[in-house]
Amino acid sequence: MKWTDIQDIAIALTEAHPDIDPKTIRFTDLHRWVMALPGFDDDANRSGEKILEAIQQAWIDEV
């Protein structure tokens, strides 16, 4: 997965952190959790606030 695989990341986060309310997550934690996902293989510096916001919204939509 890459940072642009927003929907796949959201699904993986839902499975990895089922007890977390994605509305309450800090972007620093979100960034760390995405980097730790199995199958995620992208440069940590390629993400930004826009990408993290999109991932968070997709995660909210997923749950």
What tens digit of pLDDT does each residue of 4-54 get? 999 999 999 999 999 999 999 999 999 999 999 999 999 999 999 999 999
CA–CA distance, 55 with 22 (Å, rounded to integer): 10
pTM of the model: 0.94
Residue 39, φ and ψ in degrees, nearest 5: 90, -5
Beta carbons of 63 and 17 less than 8 angstroms apart? no
User: Which residues does 31 contact at the CB level (< 8 Å), separation at least 6?
Assistant: 44, 47, 52
Pick 6-62's CATH classification: 3.10.20.30, 1.10.10.600, 3.40.50.920, 1.10.1740.10: 1.10.10.600
